[in-house]
Amino acid sequence: MSIEVGEKMPAGMFGVMTEAGPGAMSTDELFAGKKVVLVSVPGAFTPTCSASHLPGFVAQADALSAKGADTIAFMAVNDIFVMHAWGADQKVGSAVVMLADGNGEYADALGLSFDGSAFGMGKRGQRFAIIVDDGVATHVAVEAPGQFEVSKAETILACI
């Protein structure tokens, strides 16, 4: 069963790159007292993710902030180094926090992981966007397989 509107986000940890090197961020640090747009993609550097999904949120960061978003965070079942490199490649700067869900544990906790073994990708997180207000999911948008509509930046901007 996947996370639903009105439910508290599960506790967990993410890998993040800090100025001192690899570090960690808890869900408490990410969500407590903030409005967060948490976006998941099947993988860093993948076509839709790199051409449209992440760039859309970078482009809409100011508009999302103006509507109350404190943080935009992108997670994928990739390691810290890959997420950091992808953020640098996409020039996210401080607009987007890049979160590594290296073993897919947070995607599992949300009930939103899938088996991409048929594509040589192993366990992955589904494509989704969740608006989180002080640790509670207020909007959950999970894409159907192969789709890119309900979790894109413009759609989330209209929902926040």
71-76 β-sheet, strand order: 21-26, 13-18, 97-100, 71-76, 35-40, 128-133, 136-142
Active-site annotation holder among 37, 49, 54, 160:
49
User: Is 159 a catalytic site residue?
Assistant: no
Q: In this structure, how many other beta carbons lie within 10 angstroms of the beta carbon of residue 18?
A: 11
Count of CB atoms situated within 10 Å of the CB of 144: 10
- Report angle CA 69, 31, 10 to the nearest 5 degrees: 130
Q: What is the DSSP letter of 155?
A: H
54 neighbors 41 (Cβ within 8 angstroms): yes
Q: Looking at the annotation, which residues are catalytic?
A: 49
